[in-house]
Amino acid sequence: MKTALITGITGQDGAYLAELLLEKGYMVHGIKRRSSLINTDRIDHLYQDPHEKNVRLKLHYGDLTDSTNLIRIIQETQPDEIYNLAAMSHVKVSFDTPEYTANADGIGTLRLLEAIRILGLEKKTKIYQASTSELYGLVQEVPQSEKTPFYPRSPYGVAKLYAYWITVNYREAYNMFACNGILFNHESPLRGETFVTRKITRAVAAIASGHQNCLYMGNLDAQRDWGHAKDYVEAMWRILQQETPEDFVIATGKTTSVRDFISMAFSEVGIAIAFKGEGINEKGFVAACSNPDYQLEIGKQVVSIDPAYFRPTEVDLLIGDATKARTKLGWEPKYDLKALVSEMVETDLNKVTAYAQMSVGQIHSYINRFEER
């Protein structure tokens, strides 16, 4: 039985990857941060009672900013594969917490690589680093491939640039099986609520069912290559099953603007959105509503721009060229954007319906959260 260690197991990708590796028969260890409320919602369906025999999923308290803790967990678990998914992963928030982001996302990767080396596990333990299309940043060429130069545009992107190169360096310096997956944006019903796709699908569910008036957005012109997280964790696993360690771009090869994503999401509930105005005066209003369940008047403004959501520096256009992954890993995405949007909107509608059976106060606290970005 192979053993894997996943950092960031409580996150979107960690949850899908844990599920995949358990299906494949792995013993899975995950690193989880201590939090004042239990935050294992995404993996609770995988829970195994530690008092039973043959438990194959085990969580360990830890943090990427704590070297001794990482060394101890790796020593105890002796993993064949480490998937380093833990990160302060929100680009906008990285402008507010740049030093912490560098520490967790940049130096955190170094800590793991060093732990493998200190423990003499260079020959045994393979490591996957969660690199990102944010490395490309300011557009140099499209589509972006493994050969495209990097130009990150946020403290997050710069921290991930360090992590990318230290992974390459440890591979070359110490012959470690260390790989970067340069993953373009991937989403799912498990996506964090403050990333743009999930913010939109939650708002669509809440607006359609009359619990929210307006969706406040930042830059609608940004274009992203959006895939489904389920497809992308399969690529992570394949990257570590190769004969030789290499870096791979994982992307769908199609790009869509934030504005078009909003229209697609509203159209899932039978609402057509028309946009008028430019830049910060832009408004999105209901142009048609074909769903008798939703009483939205034509002309009602449901999307508005709030400059608070603009970023000091933006990444305008991402579109990935995953030819290498298709050829060498045999990887193809199974989901298209329409299926992804449908699944996300449907899940959020179900959540609003479940909440609707609760008190008005509880619905309010589901929709109005302090943390928006």
Catalytic residue numbers, as ranges: 132, 134, 156
CA-CA distance, 116 to 366, in Å (whole number)?
42
Q: Which does 8 bind (CB under 5 to 8 A by kind): ligand NDP, ligand GDR, none?
A: ligand NDP
By CB under 6 A, residue 86 contacts ligand NDP = yes
By CB under 6 A, residue 54 contacts ligand NDP = no
By CB under 6 A, residue 100 contacts ligand GDR = no
Size of interface with ligand NDP, in residues (CB under 6 A): 26
By CB under 6 A, residue 29 contacts ligand GDR = no
Q: Which does 373 bind (CB under 5 to 8 A by kind): ligand GDR, ligand NDP, none?
A: ligand GDR
By CB under 6 A, residue 282 contacts ligand GDR = no
By CB under 6 A, residue 258 contacts ligand GDR = yes
CA-CA distance, 40 to 9, in Å (whole number)?
9
Q: Which residue is nearest to ligand NDP (CB)?
A: 11
By CB under 6 A, residue 129 contacts ligand GDR = no
> Among 91, 38, 83, 149, which Cα is nearest to 314's?
91
> Among 58, 16, 2, 7, which Cα is nearest to 227's?
16
CB of 104 to ligand NDP, least distance (A): 4
By CB under 6 A, residue 201 contacts ligand NDP = no
Helices (H), the chain: 12-23, 67-77, 91-96, 98-101, 108-118, 155-174, 196-208, 229-240, 258-267, 323-324, 337-356, 360-367
Amino acid occupying residue 296: L
User: How does DSSP assign 52-112, residue by residue?
Assistant: SSS--EEEEE--TT-HHHHHHHHHHH--SEEEE--S---HHHHHHSHHHHIIIIIIHHHHH
By CB under 6 A, residue 60 contacts ligand NDP = no
Which CA distances in Å does 330 have to 21, 26, 131, 242, 357?
Answer: 18, 22, 20, 11, 46
Report strand pairing: 248-250 vs 178-183. Answer: parallel
By CB under 6 A, residue 133 contacts ligand GDR = yes
For residues 330-355, one letter each, b for 16 or more C-beta atoms within 10 angstroms of the residue's C-beta and e for the rest, the string is: ebebebebeebbebbbebbbeebeeb
CB of 155 to ligand GDR, least distance (A): 12
By CB under 6 A, residue 63 contacts ligand NDP = yes
CA-CA distance, 91 to 158, in Å (whole number)?
11
Nearer to ligand NDP, 65 or 67 (CB): 65
| Residue from 33, 60, 72, 311 in contact with ligand GDR (CB under 6 A) | 311
By CB under 6 A, residue 314 contacts ligand GDR = yes
By CB under 6 A, residue 65 contacts ligand NDP = yes
| Residue from 64, 115, 325, 349 in contact with ligand NDP (CB under 6 A) | 64
CA-CA distance, 166 to 148, in Å (whole number)?
18
Q: Which does 64 bind (CB under 5 to 8 A by kind): ligand NDP, ligand GDR, none?
A: ligand NDP
| Residue from 3, 4, 5, 14 in contact with ligand NDP (CB under 6 A) | 14
| The residue count for the chain | 373
Reading the block at residue 136, the tokens are: 């490309």
Starting at the edge strand found earlier in the chain, the sheet holding 283-289 runs 215-217, 301-305, 283-289, 271-276
By CB under 6 A, residue 111 contacts ligand GDR = no
Binding mask 291-330 for ligand NDP (x = CB under 6 A): ----------------------------------------
User: Is there a cis peptide before residue 50, judged by omega within 30 degrees of 0?
Assistant: no
By CB under 6 A, residue 8 contacts ligand NDP = yes
Could you tell me which residues come within 8 angstroms of residue 69 by beta carbon, excluding any fewer than 6 positions away? 61, 62, 63
By CB under 6 A, residue 88 contacts ligand NDP = yes
Q: Which does 35 bind (CB under 5 to 8 A by kind): ligand NDP, ligand GDR, none?
A: ligand NDP
Q: Using CB under 6 A as the criterion, which residues of the chain lie in contact with ligand NDP when the complex forms?
A: 7-8, 10-14, 31, 33, 35, 39, 63-65, 85-89, 104, 130, 132, 183, 185-186, 192
Q: Using CB under 6 A as the criterion, which residues of the chain lie in contact with ligand GDR when the complex forms?
A: 89, 91-92, 132-134, 184-185, 194-196, 199, 217-219, 222, 224, 258, 309, 311, 314-315, 373
